[in-house]
Structure 1
Amino acid sequence: MLLAIDAGNTNIVFALVDADRVIRARWRIATDPRRTADEYAVWLSQLLVLEGYERSQVTGVIVGTVVPRALHNLQVLASKYFKTEAVIAGKGDAPWGIALDVDEPDAVGADRALNVIAAHASHAGDLIIIDFGTATTFDVADYTGAYKGGIIAPGINLSLDALVSATAKLPRIAIEAPDNASVIGRTTVDQMHIGIYWGYIAMIEGLVARLRAEIGRPVKVIATGGLAMLFEKQTDAFDTIESDLTIQGLAILWSRRHIAQGSV
């Protein structure tokens, strides 16, 4: 069983993936670079047991991270508690295997490369991948699977935090769809819901339209990330939602590495 670890700016996702790349279990913990390998192990061991698994069933660990300070303790977790060396996505014998056709290829986040790998493995043609995380990213992959660049926008939670922290009287609200489609708010809270929710949808639809026009060929739009489902019913900008795209990218890298090494 493979333990795939996606270390993002807000959360770290741990997933158990079987030999057929089926995700058997997943867990999420807040990202804290100070968290030690021992702390991860205590937390993760209990969750494994709750799902009916044992640590000994984990035979490989692969990590994709955009938080360099978190990497060391995840590597120690793999070596100390799972008796294996963690494979680092995009490094050493686990290269991306796709062209990063941008001006700064070394600056491409691991999650973005992994999303492109997984999306291209499942879908033909040109692709736009929208990942709703701490930031909302729009990534473009052409029909060959090459990463061509994209867009980084503030995540919806960041936008709301900035609005509330910079104003004296605006309250903190839940991020949810407004009760109706009206964009004329009658209360302060209604107006905030409209601005955050419908404003974000307008951004998504506007940027997707501009990307489609610039690409100039038929393109499929894939949404991923924890908040993708929040917008699904209110926009037709997405062709499909695949919530585990980054984990699937890690599993694909792991499989390719083992094929290259002549093992199963």
Structure 2
Amino acid sequence: MLLAIDAGNTNIVFALVDGDAIKARWRIATDPRRTADEYAVWLHQLLQLEGHDRSVVDAVIVATVVPRALHNLEVLASKYFGVTALVAGRPPVDWGITLDVDEPQNVGADRAVNVIAAHRRHPGDLIVIDFGTATTFDVVDYTGAYKGGIIAPGINLSLDALVGAAAKLPRIAIEAPDSASVIGRTTTSQMLVGIYFGYVSMIEGLVGRMKAEVGRPVKIIATGGLAPLFERHVKLFDSIEPDLTIQGLGIMYDRLKARL
């Protein structure tokens, strides 16, 4: 089976993939100082809990936006699984799509992998929104080419900035409000309205502008750990797919196997 690793700025997701099926997935906080040995102890225990031995892993593929984390993940693959880690976007694992932007070498691995999976699963023009540390909006045309997008601060980053700069404001948990009212009655409810519905308005406004610029019918695909947070109050999403990055890594691995 394939061990697919999505190393983001906040969390690293490990998933056991068998063909099109994701057999198990685990998440750990991103820490570039974490060693291959620490990953191995943690993963070995989780594999056992799911009824798997580490010998079931015969390939490892990594997408990372945290360069400092890559070395220890590569050591994990070679030392504990006996394979050379494949890295998305690095030969022999090419993207297999056109990155039609001015600086293709700077496109985040997670964004390119999301585009690959979204295009495989949905025909036509797409906007892929990934709700993570940052919120990214990526435009994919009907041929599967990545045309560009938007990078915005994630909702938790926005909250951290607000609380960090205003001494009397408390730290609150971000959640979908029960009410659609945007007039808060307490300090905390006013903060929640400002952060949450301000973010909803940003999503709706940016997507509206992007759709107008594309000029053709567009499907909106949401992914990332925070995507379900907006499902109640954002009516734009055609599909919410939390495993899009892992699915994209699986597709890239299958393409590579087919070439070899």
- Indicate the TM-score class for this superposition, using the shorter chain for normalisation: over 0.9
Provide the C-alpha distance between the structure 2 equivalents of 1:199 and 1:92, rounded to a whole number of angstroms. 42
Provide the C-alpha distance between the structure 1 equivalents of 2:25 and 2:238, rounded to a whole number of angstroms. 25
Match of 1:226 in 2: 225
Match of 1:56 in 2: 55
Match of 2:188 in 1: 189
Match of 2:46 in 1: 47
TM-score, normalized by length of structure 2? 0.99
Deviation at 1:68, TM superposition (A): 0.5
Q: Which runs of 4+ in 1 moved over 6 A?
A: none
Provide the C-alpha distance between the structure 1 equivalents of 2:54 and 2:178, rounded to a whole number of angstroms. 46
Letter in 2 for 1:202: S
Match of 1:177 in 2: 176
Provide the C-alpha distance between the structure 2 equivalents of 1:177 and 1:27, rounded to a whole number of angstroms. 25
Provide the C-alpha distance between the structure 2 equivalents of 1:228 and 1:201, rounded to a whole number of angstroms. 11
CA contact (8 A) 2:224 2:242 kept: yes
TM-score, normalized by length of structure 1? 0.98
Deviation string for 1:4-58 (max 9, x for gaps)?
000000000000000x221000000000001000000000000000000000000
Deviation at 1:179, TM superposition (A): 2.8
Q: Indicate yes or no: 2:12 matched with 1:12.
A: yes
Provide the C-alpha distance between the structure 1 equivalents of 2:232 and 2:171, rounded to a whole number of angstroms. 24
SS where residue 34 of structure 1 aligns? coil
Deviation string for 1:213-236 (max 9, x for gaps)?
000000100000011001111111
Provide the C-alpha distance between the structure 2 equivalents of 1:103 and 1:219, rounded to a whole number of angstroms. 23
CA contact (8 A) 2:4 2:16 kept: yes
CA contact (8 A) 2:129 2:220 kept: yes
CA contact (8 A) 2:60 2:77 kept: yes
SS where residue 233 of structure 1 aligns? coil
Deviation string for 1:81-119 (max 9, x for gaps)?
000000001111110010000000000000000000000
Match of 1:30 in 2: 29
Match of 1:80 in 2: 79
Match of 2:150 in 1: 151
Q: Which ranges in structure 1 are unaligned for 5 or more consecutive residues?
A: none
Deviation at 1:122, TM superposition (A): 0.6
Letter in 1 for 2:179: N
Structural RMSD (CA): 0.5
Letter in 2 for 1:180: S
Deviation string for 1:137-193 (max 9, x for gaps)?
000010000000000000000000000011110000010122311111111111001
SS where residue 150 of structure 1 aligns? strand
Q: What is the total number of aligned residue pairs between the two structures?
A: 260
Provide the C-alpha distance between the structure 2 equivalents of 1:183 and 1:15, rounded to a whole number of angstroms. 39
Which runs of structure 2 are paired with 1:101-120 in the superposition (5 Å)? 101-120=100-119
Provide the C-alpha distance between the structure 1 equivalents of 2:166 and 2:71, rounded to a whole number of angstroms. 39
Letter in 2 for 1:11: N
Provide the C-alpha distance between the structure 2 equivalents of 1:5 and 1:260, rounded to a whole number of angstroms. 22
Q: Which ranges in structure 2 are unaligned for 5 or more consecutive residues?
A: none
Deviation at 1:237, TM superposition (A): 1.3
Letter in 2 for 1:4: A
Match of 2:20 in 1: 21
Q: Indicate yes or no: 2:8 matched with 1:3.
A: no
CA contact (8 A) 1:6 1:63 kept: yes
